[in-house]
């Protein structure tokens, strides 16, 4: 099973943990860690941990690509274990540096300081579109996730989604802002907004099940997964709705939790699991993600432990 995971604007995530952040003063880090990242790349690693082969693509700055290349070499070594899938490098290199994002975590609260990174030109965009269209034909599913880089306009994003959905009927999207507004017009397999992102797009509250259902009615999307942090997940799939509540966790970092949820949902759907099992596993995997710094799926034993604490049930509109 191969999944194409597209990250148009990857990053090097520098996660720094402090206790009691004091703005304007000297703070001492308790831990610091740098990871090659980006929503699609994060999801690719989780999918590979779950035994699927991920094809990672998008744009990558030439000047600091070695950080990502080391990750791909490491993933290749991990793939010697038959239970772990591969993460193949199919990124298009562009002039400049991939951005660095600083994540300040303070006892479960994360403050993001995101860099700007490279600027893509017309030749870069054309090369990527050609590559992705070809790759998507040979994969069982496609994920496009995260922000867009400088020089990549909403018209480009619209054209990319049109090209992908024309060759693959299982295109998943995890984006926000203007890109989410564009994505909602396309015939997608899966989309994963959170309640705040829906409010930003529609200008109406999306906190309750009924509010979400009213906003999402009629969209041409097979699976809509609304994440709400510790309040759980609502999954709209056709005429059915399921809800999950995660276990209480000691949060170390929320970075990658949403990407893990997306990967878990995709893996479960591709494996043909029962709906309640799909949502329970994805929720448990996401709960594990907030308990660690970095990107790694829960071990089988850890997953079983968390699954026992996840609540999943069918929901009805009131």
Please return the burial class of 79, using the count of CB atoms within 10 Å of its CB with bins 0-12, 13-18 and 19+. Answer: middle
CA angle 171, 172, 175 (to 5 degrees): 130
Residue 84, pLDDT score: 92
Residue 256, pLDDT score: 82
CA angle 152, 154, 160 (to 5 degrees): 80
Intervals of the chain under pLDDT 70: none
Residue 110, pLDDT score: 83
Written as one string, the DSSP assignment of 198-214 is HHHHHSS---SHHHHHH
Residue 134, pLDDT score: 98
C-beta atoms surrounding 318 within 10 Å: 7
Spatial neighbors of 153 by CB under 8 A, at least 6 apart, are none
Residue 292, pLDDT score: 81
pLDDT in tens, 39-48: 999 999 999 9
Answer yes or no: 156 catalytic: no
Residue 83, pLDDT score: 84
Choosing from 174, 259, 277, 304, the catalytic residue is 259
Helix 66-78 / helix 39-49 crossing angle, nearest 10 deg: 10
Classify strands 311-314 and 240-245 as parallel, antiparallel or unpaired. Answer: antiparallel
pLDDT in tens, 140-178: 999 999 999 999 999 999 999 999 999 999 999 999 999
Residue 15, pLDDT score: 85
Three-state DSSP state, 25: coil
Residue 109, pLDDT score: 82
Residue 115, pLDDT score: 87
Q: Which domains does the chain have, with CATH numbers?
A: 2-21+31-314 (3.40.1190.20)
Helices (H), the chain: 39-49, 66-78, 122-137, 154-167, 177-183, 195-202, 209-216, 257-271, 275-290, 300-307
Q: What burial letters (b/e) apply to 53-78, b meaning 16+ CB within 10 Å?
A: bbbbbbbbbeebbebbeebbeebeee
């Amino acid at each position: 099973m191969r999944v194409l995971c597209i990250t148009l604007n990857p990053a090097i995530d520098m996660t720094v943990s402090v206790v009691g952040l004091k703005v304007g003063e000297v703070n001492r880090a308790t831990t610091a860690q740098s990871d090659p990242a980006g929503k699609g790349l994060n999801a690719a690693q989780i999918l590979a941990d779950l035994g699927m082969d991920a094809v990672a693509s998008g744009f990558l700055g030439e000047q600091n690509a070695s950080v990502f290349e080391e990750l791909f070499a490491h993933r290749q070594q991990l793939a010697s274990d038959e239970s772990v899938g591969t993460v193949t490098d199919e990124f298009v290199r562009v002039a400049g540096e991939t951005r660095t994002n600083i994540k300040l975590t303070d006892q479960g609260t994360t403050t993001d300081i995101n860099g700007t990174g490279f600027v893509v030109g017309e030749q870069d965009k054309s090369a990527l579109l050609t590559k992705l269209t070809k790759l998507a034909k040979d994969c069982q599913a496609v994920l496009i996730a995260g922000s867009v880089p400088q020089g990549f306009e909403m018209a480009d994003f619209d054209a990319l989604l049109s090209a992908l959905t024309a060759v693959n009927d299982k295109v998943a999207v995890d984006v926000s802002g203007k890109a989410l507004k564009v994505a909602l017009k396309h015939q997608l397999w899966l989309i994963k907004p959170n309640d705040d992102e829906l409010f930003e797009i529609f200008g109406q509250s999306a906190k309750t099940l009924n509010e979400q259902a009213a906003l999402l009615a009629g969209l041409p999307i097979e699976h809509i997964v609304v994440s709400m942090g510790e309040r759980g997940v609502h999954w709209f799939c056709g005429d059915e709705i399921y809800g999950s509540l995660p276990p209480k966790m000691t949060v170390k970092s929320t970075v990658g939790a949403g990407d893990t949820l997306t990967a878990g949902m995709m893996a479960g759907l591709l494996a043909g699991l029962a709906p309640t099992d799909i949502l329970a596993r994805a929720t448990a995997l996401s709960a594990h993600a907030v308990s660690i710094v970095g990107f790694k799926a829960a071990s089988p034993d850890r997953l079983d432990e968390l699954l026992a604490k996840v609540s999943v049930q069918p929901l009805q509109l009131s």
